[in-house]
Amino acid sequence: MLDAVRVTKEFGPKRALDDVSLSVRGGDIYCLLGANGAGKTTLINLFLNFLEPTSGEVRINGRDVATAPLETKRDVAYIPEQVMLYGVMSGLENLRYFAALATGEQRTRTQLLDLLASVGLDTAAADRRVSTYSKGMRQKVGIAIALAKNARALLLDEPTSGLDPHAASEFSELLKRASASGVAVLTTTHDLFHATQTGTRVGIMKQGKLVEDLSNDDIAHADLQALYLRHMRA
């Protein structure tokens, strides 16, 4: 579903991604670990066509992102570290707007409230202006937008960063439910615990290279923390 094929991205003399290849299939939750500047967000930006690769190819559902940028975006939903919404509008109005942009359909208030309830946002909160929301509440609206889009793949850029443990746990559950329904999930994170608890696959990036690509079984057996630290220190 999500494929990076020998992707290199350079910013002037700096190589942010160096010959990275990875593949995320439907049902996978691929957690990408790495220090700041390892190239995780650059990879997400390439999938979203916010950047163009210097070489290599990025594909969503078999289509090259560079040649079909709008079509490929219809298959994915993106949740950044900080879900940015319009502060003067309520959570419900934001969801209505983004969902309509994503799908072209206008949902009823009841449908929108149901979506928000499914991510843990009640009616009172849904009708409040987003400027009064906590980060966790914004993340929930972001997830509701992704659900409304009914996307076949999720691209998540450090989605649990700054969330309290309860909210992070709720978030993991939502990801697992999405994955169980066949959605491919690619998420970047610093959180090793989140990666082991949620991920079906884990990749470790270092200085633009994908230095580990572990499957479900590997994660179960490996001491991920030790492995990660070894790479970071090397």
Find all residues with CB under 8 Å of 195, minimum gap 6, and list them: 31, 33, 189, 202, 219, 224
Compute the least distance from the CB of residue 61 to another protein, in Å.
13
Compute the least distance from the CB of residue 98 to another protein, in Å.
6
Residue closer to another protein by CB (options 69, 196) is 69
CA distance 168 to 204: 21
Place of tokens 């319009």: 86
Compute the least distance from the CB of residue 165 to another protein, in Å.
25
Residue closer to another protein by CB (options 106, 123) is 106
Compute the least distance from the CB of residue 149 to another protein, in Å.
7
Compute the least distance from the CB of residue 101 to another protein, in Å.
5
Residues in the site for another protein, rule: CB under 8 A?
48-51, 69-71, 73-74, 76-78, 80, 82-86, 88-89, 93, 97-98, 100-102, 104, 149, 155
Compute the least distance from the CB of residue 62 to another protein, in Å.
17
Residue closer to another protein by CB (options 145, 205) is 145
Residue closer to another protein by CB (options 50, 164) is 50
Residue closer to another protein by CB (options 138, 209) is 138
Query: 193-199: long-range contacts at Cβ-Cβ below 8 A with a sequence spacing of 24 or more?
Result: 194/31, 194/160, 194/168, 195/31, 195/33, 195/219, 195/224, 196/224, 197/172, 198/29, 198/31, 198/172, 199/29, 199/30, 199/31
Residue closer to another protein by CB (options 52, 164) is 52
